[in-house]
Amino acid sequence: MKQAKVLTDTELKKVIAYIDAFDRHAERNKAIILLTHYCGMRVSEVASLLVSDVVSVDNNINDVIYLKANQTKGSKSRRVFVSKKAKTALKRYLQSDLSVIQQSYLFQTQKSKRFNTNALTTLIKRLYERVGIVGASSHSGRRTFITKLATSGVNVRVIAEAVGHSNISITNRYIEINDDLIGNAVELV
């Protein structure tokens, strides 16, 4: 089975620019896409997010999201560390629609229903297709996140922990070997 495309920074910027220009749910959809790219979250995890998972009692974005076993693929609870870029996207989303704080689920459809994984997968794939990115899917953000960490020299065990993999062999399959990765490796000698 072919793996989801790893996006370049330019391609991600193109998707975000498209969402800003043409999407009436721009801040919501940017936050969804960017959680996969900046936190390495699975689409099913994003769909299951509760407002209380992300927003603290003093209305700040949490530094760490604690996913319960029923929110993860492997039915094991895990932590998701929220980057500054992800926090910014989440803050913008929450500020764009103040009613979100009153909801249970962080992301809802235009009919005020919670997104299920299939609907969110379709939304993300459609956004990539609209800007002409071939081979991208809802899993592209996660693969991009993992590959960028590897290219930056982050230890594969740390990456596996960050994305909730129990075995580094799974994480290794996500890493796209590219010229940057090889170039960085040979410079270590």
Question: What would the mean pLDDT of 72-82 be, rounded to a whole number?
Answer: 93
Residue 156 lies in a domain: no
* pLDDT at 184 (0 to 100): 81
Q: What is the pLDDT of residues 145-166, one digit of tens each?
A: 999 999 998 999 999 999 999 9
Q: How many domains does the chain have?
A: 1
Q: CATH number for the domain including 106?
A: 1.10.443.10
Among candidate residues 110, 114, 112, 17, the one with its CA nearest the CA of residue 71: 114
Per residue in 87-135, pLDDT (tens digit) is 999 999 999 988 888 889 999 988 878 999 999 999 999 999 999 999 9
Bridge partners, 81 (sequence order): 64
Show the domain range for 83: 10-132
**CA 77 from centre of chain:** 17
Domain presence at residue 157: no
Q: What is the DSSP string of 8-49?
A: PHHHHHHHHHHHHHH-TTHHHHHHHHHHHHHH---HHHHHH-
Q: What is the mean pLDDT of residues 163-181?
A: 89
- pLDDT for 113 equals 85
- Does residue 48 fall inside a structural domain? yes
- At 1 the pLDDT is 59
Inside any domain, residue 16: yes
pLDDT of res. 102? 84
pTM of the model: 0.92
